[in-house]
Amino acid sequence: MVCIGVVLLRWTPVIWITLLTHSVVCLLPAPVDVSVTSLNLEHTLTWTPGRHTPPHTRYRVQYSSNSSWSSVWACQELLSSESCDLTALLGDPLETYRLRLQAFNPAHNPHHQDQSTWSQAKPFCPVTDTVFGPPLLEVSGCGACLRLHIRPPASRWQHLQENSSSSSSHRPLLFYYSKLQAQLTRTRDNSQFSVAVQSGENVIGYLEPGAEYCVTVVTVTHFGSHALPSQAHCTHTSPTPINTVPESKPFVSHSVSILSTSDHRLVKCEDVSLIFAMN
């Protein structure tokens, strides 16, 4: 911690008088590694205390989506062992946010606190910087076929959207998916193939009866965000040689070719907003 003493002088017609009272400005070490981690649009701000940070130091958070900064009132006296939940605050997935963090010592007079400079995280766009997945998957045999039941992962962001007073931003998590893809591996010879699937029940037919297949489902987004695959589920098709594939609604993939990219860093938040506005 760096402290700078400031002595105040006052001139009188007779002599310079040194005031006995003086101010001391103390700079705490600034926090480092300030970043936002995000899974399924649930956002958390984390950081590491700066070197030689005193015990009992507190931290406060501010955010901005324009030119001014606002305090995150739920994150004004955080301990170094805590983090800041931003899920409810960063409600617009297509907005770009700035976030910053400051260390301070609450033991001093509120009008004269030891504090650090602000440490800022890189700009954060929820829809391109979050990680989607993994999908929830159940697999069972159905003759010469496999029945897959697929659900999106649980997300507190989704619950907040459903209970929000604003209806303009009500979009399910699936809205941001381009498609779901199932990858199948036959264990006896490691032969592999992939098929497009959708949320809900899917039946993959014309498989080898009595064979074991391992299935993994991956999420493909409109904008190249990172996505986690489901856990592999392995099961046998039943030995019955009858293919019991029921009729199902055709799966339509609403892919956006202009945003088809393997490098999510090339896709800007404003680009995603433009594409959704056109659709």
Give residue 73's pLDDT.
96
- pTM of the complete model beyond 0.85: no
What are the Cα distances from residue 38, in Å, to 42, 237, 260? 5, 37, 22
Which of these, 183, 199, 194, lies nearest to 231 by C-alpha position? 183
Q: What would the pLDDT profile of 61-93 be if each residue is shown by its tens digit?
A: 999 999 899 999 999 999 999 999 999 999 889
Rounded CA gap, 131 and 36, in Å? 12
Res 264: pLDDT: 41
pLDDT at res. 20: 43
**In angstroms, rounded to a whole number, what is the distance separating the alpha carbons of residues 198 and 174?**
10
Q: How far apart are CA 59 and CA 71, in angstroms?
A: 12
- Beta strands 119-120; 212-221: pairing state: unpaired
- Residue where the block lists tokens 């030689």: 52
| Domains defined along the chain, listed by start | 29-124 (2.60.40.10), 131-152+175-245+252-278 (2.60.40.10)
Q: Answer whether 199's CB lies under 8 Å from 151's CB.
A: yes
Query: Is 55 in contact with 62 (CB distance < 8 Å)?
Result: no
Q: From CA 38, how far away is CA 12, in angstroms rounded?
A: 61
Query: In the chain, what's the furthest Cα-to-Cα distance?
Result: 112
Strands 98-105 and 114-115: antiparallel
CA atoms within 13 A on the CB side of 124: 28
How many H-runs (helices) and E-runs (strands) does the chain carry?
A: 3, 19
Helix, strand and coil percent figures for the chain, each rounded to 5: 10, 40, 45
Q: Which residues of the chain have pLDDT under 50?
A: 6-23, 167-168, 248-266
